Chain A
Amino acid sequence: EDQVTQSPEALRLQEGESSSLNCSYTVSGLRGLFWYRQDPGKGPEFLFTLYSAGEEKEKERLKATLTKKESFLHITAPKPEDSATYLCAVQAVSFQKLVFGTGTRLLVSP
């Protein structure tokens, strides 16, 4: 069964304090790994897709990396506006569906 586990559940950072969020996955053939950002009371917003081990993608202060077992979302010098829940999801080669993790709630204090 395809599974996604995200850690930590919650993370509190000071503004400028860099850190990483983890997404561990098991999937029967990875088609893609997706990162989303979700603000309170809103729908998830797409950030990145990673397709193969070793791939990296960046957007502003965020960088996503992928290995065969996990993905990291690195946040460099975060700002309060980066506060959100970050969701990870995987899509298997054989399925259209995404399997989501439960997310990491990030709070960045000024």
Chain B
Amino acid sequence: NAGVTQTPKFRILKIGQSMTLQCTQDMNHNYMYWYRQDPGMGLKLIYYSVGAGITDKGEVPNGYNVSRSTTEDFPLRLELAAPSQTSVYFCASSYSTSGDNEQYFGPGTRLTVT
């Protein structure tokens, strides 16, 4: 199993541009998450999904959108990029809310908006 994969690894955007961060997992996990990690701030949840077709907002959803058309994929869309969206983005997945709920993380996408 590849686990959780993310593309691209690095990206530089100009203010106002849009892009999609890709996330795929091959563990047949129901739950998927998007986090951003800023220096000294810890991981903040942007959006999450409990299954195909179902998504919900996390702590910091403004400026982002998600979709979940399949179990495997959970892309994150940035519309009208702003410097405040410069961060490292991590996608994660987990099997269930009950019992063991450890989340497995991808390698991250480092995004710079200038």
Contacts and interface: CB of A to CB of B under 8 A. Distances in A.
B101 A49 contact: yes
Contacts of B26: none
Contacts of A31: 101
Given A34-B102, A102-B40, A97 B48 contact: yes
Contact of B45 (A36, A44, A98, A102): A98
Interface residues of A, number: 22
Contacts of A102: 40-42
Q: How large is the interface on B (under 10, 10 to 19, 20 to 34, 35 or more residues)?
A: 20 to 34
A77 B102 CA distance: 27
Interface string A12-44: 000000000000000000011010100001111
A66 interface: no
A100 interface: yes
A43 B25 CA distance: 14
Interface of A: 4, 31-32, 34, 36, 41-46, 49, 87, 89, 91, 96-98, 100-103
Given A43-B108, A102-B41, 11 more contacts: A4-B42, A34-B102, A36-B105, A41-B108, A46-B103, A46-B104, A91-B101, A97-B33, A97-B58, A101-B42, A103-B42
